[in-house]
Structure 1
């Protein structure tokens, strides 16, 4: 009994510096934001009432959820295909897939956003090429809208979705796949009825990571959206630094944090955390 208590005390002492750092770096500032949401510009629940009645705020929330859902679906689907090649491909295929996964981490999000502007703008490479071959007569509107935001965010988030999927795929029991093939199942049927269900935890983990990142994305939507597809993070920035309306910006921040917390709590109710890594 004393040994168990001693181990627990030792673990608590080891965790104490980390918990103290997290409290000072994250919890304490967040409590300050919560205070602003209830006290600025006047004490009360006025800012939270505005969230329920302000059409602009509601439209931004809906747009953010819609874009986050689309980005999550596309990113996880693309990451799944890349991860299959990375984990189960030939040595050459694995090397190419690993290169494509790791190189984006060496390029800043700002550089990537402006790179997509150069590709998708009216005078960008894609429109110029399509016009030069006579495929289109007028440039397509590929940027400063939701399409550009989705493309840029998906490109950034695909590498983050790969790692939970790779962990799930590498932990598969190959004997189950061999048994399915031995019982006469085709490769495609084995993939959809055996392989994909067995990597469910990786799919859920990837979807959670991408969706949470998407909710708080700022740089890419601000650049590729051009102020026409404002998301929650950009709205908070505008309310804090340009309006200024610190109370409403703080209230939006609090609601966003609580929503993400509720989402993660719901996820962990059905999936154990260790299954996501």
Structure 2
């Protein structure tokens, strides 16, 4: 037994070393900077809680992340259901289309949305040519443009967990409900939908957590008017050289993300949702 434990720790030691060097130690350094720059104590955290700008950036971040999550879950469920149950003959092609965004840089995709949504972009020009609008609409540098572009980036993270969940559901249960007289919608609502909730929870949690710390797309599509926490941290460190406040906000964002996971764990089996279903 002792030999088995020794072998286990020998196998786990490289992974633990990587975690300590590249994850835990940087986090400890960030926390130390937040407590020591420019002076010892919780001054940066007090300043953070008193700052209206910081509070606004957190509100914007959670609002954008929530909107992105809701839209991704709704669209992702439709996509996953269609790929799994409806268009089976084209399943490989559709899965490839879901995975296609992963092969293109997030930066390139964000610039593509700028080309589409700009005042002289393709969308405004098309609507003006067909007479829908007289003047260009403001489709970017606001939350609409940020959410739209983030949904494009995050949608595969919602589709894949739900699709993996749906592929493990036995269709015999739905067919049995239909055989007992239930309508197609009732069989879906009462039998199929509850079995897909672990996949929905997995996709929603993944999209929401990733959206909280997203930077490139909000920075480009927001144009400085939709200031999410990650961009605010960048301004504090790069523009104002305020390392103390910047790292304090980073720690606060990390704690907020951890709280989201803790709350989610009270309602969802995270091990099942994030490991077995994805």
2:272 aligned residue? 274
1:262 aligned residue? 259
1:143 aligned residue? 140
2:18 aligned residue? 21
* Post-superposition offset of 1:193: 2.1
- The DSSP-based 3-state class of the residue aligned with 1:137 is coil
* Post-superposition offset of 1:221: 0.3
Per-residue Cα deviation, 1:155-184 (whole angstroms, up to 9, x for no partner): 000001112111211121322112111111
2:228 aligned residue? 231
- The DSSP-based 3-state class of the residue aligned with 1:11 is helix
Per-residue Cα deviation, 1:105-154 (whole angstroms, up to 9, x for no partner): 11100000000000001100010000001111111100111111001100
Distance of 2:242 and 2:82 partners within structure 1:
49
Q: For 1:84-233, list aligned pairs within 5 A.
A: 84-233=81-230
* Post-superposition offset of 1:92: 3.6
Instruction: Give the unaligned 5+ runs of structure 1.
Output: none
* Post-superposition offset of 1:190: 1.6
Distance of 1:122 and 1:51 partners within structure 2:
36
- The DSSP-based 3-state class of the residue aligned with 1:136 is coil
* Post-superposition offset of 1:79: 0.8
**TM-score normalised to the size of structure 1?**
0.95
Q: Please tell me whether the aligned partners of residues 65 and 208 of structure 2 are also in contact (alpha carbons under 8 angstroms).
A: yes
Distance of 2:87 and 2:70 partners within structure 1:
27
Distance of 2:163 and 2:203 partners within structure 1:
10
User: What is the aligned residue count?
Assistant: 274
2:38 aligned to 37, 41, 47, which one?
41
Q: Please tell me whether the aligned partners of residues 48 and 249 of structure 2 are also in contact (alpha carbons under 8 angstroms).
A: yes
Q: Please tell me whether the aligned partners of residues 85 and 93 of structure 1 are also in contact (alpha carbons under 8 angstroms).
A: no
Query: Which deviates more, 179-188 or 24-33?
Result: 179-188
Distance of 1:202 and 1:228 partners within structure 2:
34
Q: Please tell me whether the aligned partners of residues 157 and 207 of structure 2 are also in contact (alpha carbons under 8 angstroms).
A: yes
CA RMSD of aligned residues (A): 1.3
Q: Please tell me whether the aligned partners of residues 76 and 159 of structure 2 are also in contact (alpha carbons under 8 angstroms).
A: yes
- Residues 274, 178 of structure 1: alpha-carbon distance in 2 compared, 3 angstrom cutoff: same
Distance of 1:259 and 1:6 partners within structure 2:
41
